[in-house]
Amino acid sequence: MSNKITLIELDHSRCEGHGLCEEAAAHLMHLNDEGELIIDVKEVGSKDIDAAREAVRVCPVAALKLVSS
């Protein structure tokens, strides 16, 4: 049985706080009061993969990635 883990990776230097990711996947990440992105769920399960992919896709600055190991 393969144990593939998918992680959400954030490039902090690119992030500008646009918040489109939070709109796409509010249960996985959010912007705090300082406008910084906090990834609440780093390891993405099968029920969250679509939302995670959408968040990655809509980030205007391409600061998010899904990394599989």
State which residue, 44 or 59, has the beta carbon closest to another protein: 59
Binding interface with another protein (CB under 8 A): 13, 16-20, 23-24, 34-36, 57-58, 60-62
| Minimum CB–partner distance for residue 58 and another protein (Å) | 5
Query: 45 or 60, CB closer to another protein?
Result: 60
The distance of closest approach from Cβ of residue 14 to another protein in the complex, given in angstroms and rounded to an integer, is 8
Reading the block at residue 13, the tokens are 């230097």
3-state secondary structure the chain: CCCCCEEEEECCCCCCCCCHHHHHCCCCEEECCCCCEEECCCEECCCCHHHHHHHHHHCCCCCEEEEEC
